[in-house]
Amino acid sequence: MFESVDQKAVIVQIEFAKGRDDFSPLNAFDEFKELVVSSGAEIAREDFSKQAKPTAGLFITKGKAERIKDFINETESELVIFNHELTPSQERNLENIFKARVLDRTGLILDIFAKRASSHIGKLQVELAQLSHLSTRLVRGWSHLERQKGGIGLRGPGETQLETDRRLINQRIKNIKNRLNKSHKQREVNRYSRNKGNQTLVALVGYTNAGKTTLFNLLTESQLYAADKLFATLDSVTRKNSVTGLDDILFSDTVGFISNLPTELIESFKATLDELKSADLLVHVVDISDPDFIYKTEQVSLILKELGISDIPCIRVNNKSDKVDMEINGKKVTSSNTEVWMSALNNIGMNDLINSIQLNRKKSMVKEWVELQPNQGKIRAQLYSLGRVLEETTSDTGLIQLQLEIDEKELGNLISDKDINLKKNNIKEVI
Ligand SMILES: Nc1nc2c(ncn2[C@@H]2O[C@H](COP(=O)(O)OP(=O)(O)OP(=O)(O)O)[C@@H](O)[C@H]2O)c(=O)[nH]1
Ligand SMILES: [Mg+2]
């Protein structure tokens, strides 16, 4: 594996005539700089300029390319990082002019992930994403940069594949996909046992650096790594809560999202993020002190949609409220069922969050009569031990009839997994 090296980099962002709504390019530039620093590169020169539209061959104008080339020579930089997506041919054309490596936004984010991945699955996922990204760029034209291998964007679990040919890379991609599928199946089994154990899964989601891990640590008395840097968390972790008043709840801490998350990453991380699909409730953590919180909140919602989980009930946590004025027009803001103001770092607002989680949980509880065969005594005992049974009778035909107070989802699982039937002509009560 390559060592992490600090490389000098010239960083480039263009503001095009048709700018992005609600996200001032200056803030995007700040986030970009944070990403660069997170990758371990040293910013030797910044180039933030305007341009009418991207050009096909180089993405930037020829004049700009010449200027950047001068910057590279002046600062002896080895790397040019763009806060944009470049096509493989644009990357190659620029590298030919610069005689330095060019990394686009996706390559940069992949590099940070490669650096942070620690679990076996996390490493496989990053390698898969890197390989998918690199395979399109490996056709030709790397010889001029031969001496620089091992730098930012090349290291990590995928780097040794750079010199192999496409056939080998595709084989490796297939191999990783198989291994990920296998571990995915294993996780499905675990999820199944969790369903049977009737535990509610609450997943913390949100933009990177919003405070998800800080909140997770508070809820589960854990000491996971939380830090003021982008993508501090890569691996999903699920643990039982340690807060009184929230019985049988599991919390999941997940990887943070970012705008324009590379598709390769979403694809590769789907297995981990699939965990989110079985969540009963999402807690969307927002850094309310961030000037761009509205844009970032929308980005998270878009990614949730892309992952097909936007219909899961969601509580919004306005975190880091210690850093903002909590008054609007002279009135103090207050928490509601679906929006909670809190400061995870200072343990303020936890009660509001607990109340809100409980209220959102109760929504799915129903009262329902079911019928068990006489030989299903074991399930009957289980339901009693879980405190689900309100009343019991026996039918004329000897079936055990139980009135349950139960989560709708759990009831669905019982019916599909245990061959239990609903009592006929029964009226379901939603409570
Ligand atoms: N002032 C303040 N800082 C907070 C609060 N919650 C978290 N932080 C800080 O915000 C930074 C990011 O926190 P994390 O918990 O690592 O954020 P995250 O959402 O898990 O970030 P990623 O894992 O990178 O996606 C850390 O420096 C925390 O100390 C809060 O309520 N108030
Ligand atoms: Mg985190």
* CATH at residue 311: 3.40.50.300
What are the phi and psi torsion angles at 417 (to 5°)?
A: -90, -30
- pLDDT band at residue 97 using 50, 70 and 90 as cut-offs: very high
d(CA 355, CA 352): 5
Does ligand 1 have an atom closer than 6 angstroms to the CB of 231?
yes
State pTM to two decimals.
0.77
What CATH code is carried by the domain that includes residue 39? 3.40.50.11060
Confidence band of 308 (pLDDT split at 50, 70, 90): confident
pLDDT one-digit tens code per residue, 137-162: 765 444 444 444 445 554 445 544 45
Same domain, 243 and 225: yes
Distance 281 CA to ligand 1 centre (A): 21
In a domain, 16, yes or no: yes
Q: Band the pLDDT of 421: cuts 50, 70, 90.
A: confident
- The CA 213 to ligand 1 mean position distance, Å, reads 7
Count up the domains in the chain and report the number: 3
Question: Does 112 contact ligand 1 (Cβ within 6 A)?
Answer: no
Which pLDDT tens digit goes with each residue over 370-388? Answer: 999 989 988 898 888 777 8
Q: Which of 163, 189, 207 is the last residue of a domain?
A: 163
d(CA 163, ligand 2 centre) in Å: 34
Identity of the residue numbered 400: I
Mean pLDDT value across residues 227-256: 83
Strands 429-430 vs 421-422: parallel, antiparallel or unpaired: unpaired
Whether 28 and 159 map to the same domain: the answer is yes
Q: Is the pLDDT of residue 84 over 70?
A: yes
**Section 203-218 average pLDDT:** 96
Choose the weakest-confidence range: 50-64, 259-273, 311-325, 401-415.
259-273
Q: What angle do CA 61, 63, 69 make, to 5 degrees?
A: 105
- Distance of CA 3 from the midpoint of ligand 1 (Å): 28
> Measuring from atom 23 of ligand 1, which residue has the nearest CA?
233
As a whole number, the mean pLDDT across the chain is 83
Q: From the CA of 257, give the closest atom in ligand 1.
A: 25
Calpha distance 71→114 (Å, rounded): 28
Return the SS3 of 89: helix
Clarify whether residues 355 and 373 are in a common domain. no
Query: What CATH number is attached to the domain comprising 404?
Result: 3.30.70
Helix or strand or coil: residue 79? Answer: strand
Choice among 48-57, 122-131, 151-160 with the minimum mean pLDDT: 151-160
DSSP 232-289: ---S-EEEE---TT-TTEEEEE-PPB-TT--HHHHHHHHHHHHHHHT-SEEEEEEETT
331 with 372, same domain? no
Q: Is residue 188 part of a domain?
A: no
Whether the CB of 327 sits within 6 Å of ligand 1 = no
> Does residue 38 sit in the same domain as residue 104?
yes
At residue 135, the pLDDT reads 74
Residue that is written with structure tokens 């020169």 in the block: 45
Question: 206 and 130 in one domain?
Answer: no
Reading the block at residue 229, the tokens are: 């840097």
Percent of residues, the chain, with pLDDT higher than 90: 38
In a domain, 257, yes or no: yes
83 in the same domain as 143: yes
**Same domain membership, residue 295 and residue 232:** yes
Mean pLDDT score, 261-286 = 81
Domain of 205? Answer: 198-362
> 328 and 207, same structural domain?
yes
Residue 112 pLDDT greater than 50, yes or no: yes
Low-confidence winner among 161-175, 176-190, 413-427 (lowest mean pLDDT): 161-175
Instruction: Supply the pLDDT for residue 431.
Output: 64
Is the confidence at residue 197, as pLDDT, over 60?
Answer: no
Residue 96: pLDDT band (50, 70, 90) is very high
292 and 231 co-located in one domain: yes
pLDDT of residue 406: 84
Asked if 149 and 101 sit in the same domain, the reply is: yes
User: Long-range pairs for 186-194 at CB < 8 Å and ≥24 separation?
Assistant: 187/271, 187/274, 187/275, 191/275, 191/278, 194/250, 194/278
C-beta 198 within 6 A of ligand 1: no
Please report, to the nearest 10 degrees, the dihedral formed by the alpha carbons of residues 268, 286, 233, 302 taken in order. Answer: 0
Residue 262 lies in a domain: yes
pLDDT for residue 309 is more than 50: yes
99: left (phi over 0), alpha (psi -120 to 50) or beta: left
Tell me: do 136 and 208 sit in the same domain: no
Task: With respect to residue 170, please indicate whether it lies within any of the assigned structural domains.
Answer: no
Span 31-44, average pLDDT: 92
- 179, with CB counted inside 10 A (0-12, 13-18, 19+), is middle
Name the domain boundary from 362, 389, 413: 362
Q: What is the pLDDT of residue 133?
A: 83
**Of residues 414 and 77, more confidently modeled:** 77
Q: What is the pLDDT of residue 161?
A: 46
Quickly state the pLDDT bin for 163 (edges 50, 70, 90).
low
Q: What pLDDT is stored for residue 349 in this prediction? A: 94
The position carrying tokens 């998270």 is 300
Q: Which two tokens stand for residue 203?
A: 């997943």
pLDDT at 53 over 50: yes
Closest CA to 150 of 111, 176, 119: 111
Assess if residue 231 is contained within a domain.
yes
Residue 152 confidence (pLDDT):
54
DSSP state of 424: T
Q: How many CB atoms lie within 10 A of CB 17?
A: 8
Q: What is the rounded CA–CA span in Å between residue 144 and residue 121? A: 34
Quick check: is 182 in a domain? no
Which residues lie closer than 8 Å to 73 by C-beta, 6 or more apart? none
Please tell me the distance from the alpha carbon of residue 10 to that of residue 94, in angstroms, as a whole number: 13
Q: Which one of 338, 362, 386 terminates a domain?
A: 362
Q: Which of 158, 170, 13 is nearest to 85 (CA)?
A: 13
Tokens of 37: 């620093």
Q: Could you tell me which residues are beta bridge partners of residue 249?
A: 200
208 part of a folded domain: yes
Confidence of residue 263 (pLDDT cuts 50, 70, 90): confident
Ligand 2 centre from 217 Cα, in Å?
A: 10
Separation between Cα atoms, residue 414 and residue 369, nearest integer Å: 13
